[in-house]
Chains A and B, each alone.
Chain A
Amino acid sequence: MKITKTLASVLLLASIIFAGCKKDPITPPNEEELITTVILSLQKQGSLSVQNFVFNDPDGTGGISATIDSIIIEKAAIYSAKITLLNSQSTPADTISNEVLEEGTDHQFFYLSTPSNVLSGFTYDGENDTNGNPIGLDFSFATWNAGGSGNLKITLRHQPDKNAAGVSIGDIANANGETDIEVEFPVRLY
C-alpha cells in the first residue's frame, strides 16, 4: 500500500535525523572571571611580619560553602592592609586583583567595621585610578585601644559612581554600581 510505503520512508528519514547529529561534545568551561579567594594581608606599623587572612570558596558559587579566617590582631595599633584576589580554578591561579587595578576607574573597595569602633580610620592607600580616585586594594586602619571583637566587611563595587558625595572618602552610601565582592571577616583584638 501507498500509505505503508510512505510510513516506511518516514521511519527511515527519522532514523537519519536521529543518527545525524550525534557527537560527543564539549570542552569544560574556563571561568576566567571567577573570584574564588580574597587574601587580606595585614602588616602592623613598625613590624616586619605580614599576616594573611583568607576568604576561600574554591568551587565558586554554590557547591561547598566558603571558608573564612578570623582576623586576630593587636589592639591599639595601626595596620596597613593589602587585598589580593585570586581565581584558584585556573592553574596557575589567576591574580584577579591585577584586572581590578587595570580597570581602576570601574572598581572601588569599601570597608566597614561593626561595631564601628573596633576598627576605625580607614584610609585609602596605594595606587589611584587614572582619574585620581581611590581603588582601595591597599588601605590602612587603626584598632581600638580597648580591644574587643566584631566584623570587617569588605565590599568591591563594579562601575560605582565615583563622583557621588562621600564615595572618594570611602562612604558606600551613594556609590551604587554592582557588588562583585562582599565578604565579612570576624575580628578579634587582643
Chain B
Amino acid sequence: MLFSCSFAQDCNLKIAGNLLDKHDNSALDYATVYIMETETGTTSDSNGYFEINKLCAGKYTFIIEHLGCTPDTVVVNITKNTSRNFYLEHHAEELAEIVTTATKAEKENTQTISVINNKTLTKLEGKDLGSILSTISGVNQLKTGTTISKPIIHGLYGDRISIVSNGVKLETQDWGSEHAPEIDPFAANTIKVIKGVGSLEFGTDAMGGMVLMEPPVLRKNKHLNASVSLVGQTNGHGITTSAKLEQGFKKQVAYFVQGTFKYLGDQQTPKYNLTNTGLREGNFSTGLGILKKGWDINAYYSLFHQNLGILKSSHIGNLTDLQNAIASDRPLIIQPFTYNIENPRQQIAHHLAKINIIKFFKHDNHLDITYSFQLNNRKEYDIRRGGRSSIPAMAMNLYSNNLLASYSRTKQFTKSNSRLEGKSGLNFSAKHNANNPETGIRPLIPDYYQYSTGFFDMEKFFIKNFIVELGGRYDFTRFLGYKFDRNNVLQKPVYNFHTYAFNAGGSWKNNTDNIQLQTNISYSSRFPNASELFSEGLHHGIAALEFGNENLKPERGVKWVNTITTNYKKYFSAEATFYISQIHNFIYLAPLPDPVLTIRGAFPAFQYYQTNARLLGFDATINADPFKFLSLSLRASLVRGKNTSANDNLIYMPSDRISGSAEIHHDFKKIKNVHLGMMVQHVFKQKKTPAQIIDYKAAPDAYTTLNADAGFDYLISEHHKVSFSVTGENITNAVYRDYLNRFRYYSDELGWNLTFRLKYSFL
C-alpha cells in the first residue's frame, strides 16, 4: 500500500491531465492538485490543465480542490507516464469565497478577513472562542472573570458583532456582557473574522464585524476520518476531551459526529485561589449530507451545554460591599481548591438544528435554502434567601426560527476574462423570548416576540486584478414586548424597526500577487435590543442600577476599512489595516445625575442613552521566515473610541497592545512539525477612559506576559498521526489585571498554566 521510493526504479514519471466539472465538463481553472504521500502539488492553468513530474512508480493519493467544489480524493496507481482527467462536483458553497476553505480565496474579497486555520486551532484546543479569536490582531476579549469571554472586534462587541456558525447566525442572549457566545470551538474547522459588515445575508447589524465558524465540509465521497483530542491543564486541574468521526460513502452520502467534554475546577492567580470558578461543559454535534443529481442536502444539529461558577466574592449586595471589595487587594472570599460549583452560577443549553438544501443549475448557479431553529435556555442562580438558591434567579428561553433563501449566480465574460458573481435572497425570522415566572424575581428583560423579514443582494465583479463589490439589505422588524409594570399591569409596547445595510468595496493586486489593496465602506444599522429598551434592575457585579430606555432609535453606522497586504516570496508577509467608523445614535449607558435610594442603600444609576460615537484604529501583522527553520511574527493593534457628542472617551475600549513571537521548527522524516516557540505580549495601560462615567477603580497598569510552546506530529503511518504539544501561559507568573475584565475590581488575572495536548488523527 505504502508509497515507496527505496527501490531502484523509474522516478521520472509524469502525470498530466485536465480538471473538469462533473456536470458540464467545463474546465476548472486554478484548482490545486496535491499528492498526500509526497506532499507536493501544483495548480491547474486557466484551461484546467495540470502536470506533475518526477514521480516514482507507486500508488498515490491525489487530493483535488477547487474553489466552491467538494474536495475529492482519488488513488492512482502510476507505473508509466499517465494521462488522467479528474472530475469534481462543482458548486460554490456560498457567495463569497468567504465560506470556502482555500486560503487563496480570502484575497478574493474587498473586506478584510482574518483566518484561523485548522493548524492554529489545533494549537489552541481547549480554549474558549473569545480567547481563540484574540490571537487575531484587532480582536480583543471582554471578560467576566476567567471563564466568560466575549469577542470584541475593532472596539465593538455584543450585539454589534455577529457570530455565524455553520451558515446560521447564532441567536443568544448576547445583550449581557457576562453572557459568552454558546459555541464549541472544537466543532469548527476554520474560524474567520471579517472586520467589516460581513456577508449581508446574515443581517444589517454587524457594525463591528462578523465571526464565521465553519465545520469541516461534509465530503460526499468515500472516506473515513477520525480524531480524538485530550487536553489537560494545570491551572484549574482541568481536562478537555473531544472526538470527531467523519465518514463518507460511495453513494455520495456523508455524516459526522463530534463531541466535547470539559471539566475544570477553581483556577488560580499567582497568589490565591479563585473560589467558585469551575466549569463543566458538554457539547455534541452531528450532521448528515446527501449529494444527488444536482441536489445537495445537509442536516445538522448541535447542543452546547455549560455550567459555570462565578467568582464568589464578585457577588455583592450594595455600594458599601463593592467599596469593601475594591479596598481589598484580594477577593474577600478565598477558599481552598475544589471542583464544586456553587451559586452564583450560570447554566446554559443552546440547541441549534438546521436543514440546508442546495439545488445546482448550470454554470455554478444555485439556489440555497436554509431553515434553522435555535433554543437558548439560560438559567442564572444566585445566593438567595429562604431556601430559594436552587431556584434560578433568571430563567429564560429564547426560541428562534430562521429561514434564509438565496440564489447565487456566476456570469463569465470570456472575452474580457472577467466574471460577475451575485447572490440575492430573502430572510424571515421569528423569535420569542419567554421568562420562566417561577424565578420569583422581576425579570431583567421582558418576554417578547420579534418578527423580521429582509431581502438582500450582493454583486461582485472580477476583472483582471480588480474586484469591485456592491451589496445592500433591508430588514423590517416588528417587536412586541410583554412587560408587567410596577403595578403588575401588563404593558404591550410595539415597535417597528427599519434597518438597512450597504456595502461597497474594491480590491486590487499586482500581477505577481505581491501587493493587495482592499478598501471597503459599509453602512449598517442595528435596532435596540430588549435589554437596552426595557432592562430594569440591579447589576450585582458592579453595584449599579440599570434602566432601559423605551425611546431608543436604531443605531446607524458607517465603517471604512482599508487593508494593504504584501509578501515577498516565502520570506516575508505583512498586513496592515486602518479603519474609521462613525456611529450615529450609538447606544450606551450614561450615569443619571442622582443615585437611587433603595432598601440596600443608595446606588449609582445608569440609563441607556444615545450619542454619536467615532472609533478609529489600526492593526498590523508582520510575519517573517528568514530561514527554513525560523518563523518570526509581530502583531500590534490600537483603537480609539470617542463619544463625539459629549466630547468624552468611550468606556471599555481595548488598550493598545503589541506582541511578538519566534518559533523554530523542522520536519523530520516521520516526525513532522517539531516546534519550539516563545510569545511575548505587552498590553499598555488604558489612559483614555471616560471622564463622565465613574469607574470605581482606575484602569489597571500595563502588563507583559510570556508564553511558550513546544510540540511535534508523529506520522505513525500514512493514515495515522499523533500530535503532542505543551503550552505554558504566563510562565513568569506575572500578577496583573486587565482593563477589559469586569472582575478586575475583585481579583488578579490567572497565574501560570501548563496545557498538554495530545491528538490522534486517522486520515
Contact = CB atoms under 8 A, between A and B. Distances in A.
Contacts of B719: none
Interface residues of B, number: 55
Contacts of B403: 10, 13-14, 17
A46 interface: no
A59 B442 CA distance: 11
A106 B537 CA distance: 24
Contacts of A21: 399, 401, 430, 432, 449
A55 interface: yes
Contacts of B434: 25-26
A39 interface: no
Contacts of B547: 62
B599 A62 contact: no
A28 B440 contact: no
B261 interface: no
Contacts of B320: 155, 179, 182
A29 B442 contact: yes
Interface stretch (A30-38, A113-121, A129-137, A141-149): A30-38
B484 A178 contact: no
Interface in A7-22: 7, 10, 13-14, 17-18, 20-22
A176 to B, nearest CB: 5
B321 A179 contact: yes
B383 A158 contact: yes
Contact of B317 (A38, A178, A184): A178
B367 A60 contact: no
A14 B598 CA distance: 47
A128 to B, nearest CB: 19
A62 B545 CA distance: 8
B74 interface: no
B382 to A, nearest CB: 10
Contacts of A106: 385
A35 B484 contact: no
Interface string A52-72: 000101011111011000000
Contacts of A59: 486
B444 to A, nearest CB: 11
Contacts of B367: 3, 6
B599 A36 contact: yes
Interface in A98-126: 99-100, 102-103, 106
Contacts of B482: 24-26
Interface residues of A, number: 51
Interface in B401-440: 401, 403, 405, 407, 426, 428, 430, 432, 434-435, 437, 439-440
Contact of A26 (B321, B428, B442, B447): B447
Interface in B372-391: 383-386, 388
Contacts of A10: 369, 403, 405, 426, 428
Contact of B537 (A7, A18, A62): A62
A32 B601 CA distance: 20
Given A21-B432, A26-B482, A6 B599 contact: no
Interface string B312-356: 000111101100100000001100000000000000000000000
A13 B482 CA distance: 26
A159 interface: yes
A22 B403 CA distance: 18
Given A7-B405, A25-B447, A62-B536, A181 B440 contact: no
A27 B601 CA distance: 30
A127 interface: no
A24 B435 CA distance: 13
A10 B405 CA distance: 8
A16 to B, nearest CB: 10
B385 A99 contact: yes
A66 B401 CA distance: 43
Contacts of A20: 401, 430
A50 interface: no
B538 interface: yes
A7 B426 contact: yes
Given A14-B403, A55-B599, A179 B318 contact: yes
Interface in A152-176: 155, 157-159, 176
A29 B489 CA distance: 11
A174 to B, nearest CB: 10
B260 to A, nearest CB: 31
A13 B316 CA distance: 48
B596 interface: yes
Given A14-B403, A178-B383, A33 B599 contact: no
A146 to B, nearest CB: 29
Nearest to B404: A10
B600 A182 contact: yes
Interface string A87-105: 0000000001001101100
B490 interface: yes
Given A33-B386, A62-B547, A176 B333 contact: yes
Given A13-B403, A182-B318, A35 B599 contact: yes
Contacts of A61: 537-538, 545, 596, 598-600
A31 B441 contact: yes
B385 A62 contact: no
Nearest to B403: A14
A27 B446 CA distance: 12
A159 B599 contact: no
Nearest to B480: A22
B4 interface: no
Given A30-B437, A31-B442, A33-B440, A66 B383 contact: no
Given A57-B598, A179-B601, 17 more contacts: A10-B426, A14-B403, A25-B447, A26-B437, A26-B484, A27-B437, A36-B599, A38-B599, A59-B486, A60-B598, A61-B596, A61-B598, A62-B537, A158-B383, A178-B321, A179-B317, A180-B317
27 contacts: A6-B369, A10-B403, A10-B426, A13-B371, A14-B453, A17-B403, A24-B482, A26-B437, A27-B437, A28-B437, A29-B439, A29-B440, A32-B388, A33-B388, A33-B441, A55-B599, A60-B598, A61-B545, A62-B547, A65-B596, A99-B385, A103-B386, A106-B385, A158-B385, A179-B600, A182-B601, A184-B601
Shortest 3 CB-CB contacts between residues of A and residues of B: A179-B317, A182-B601, A14-B428
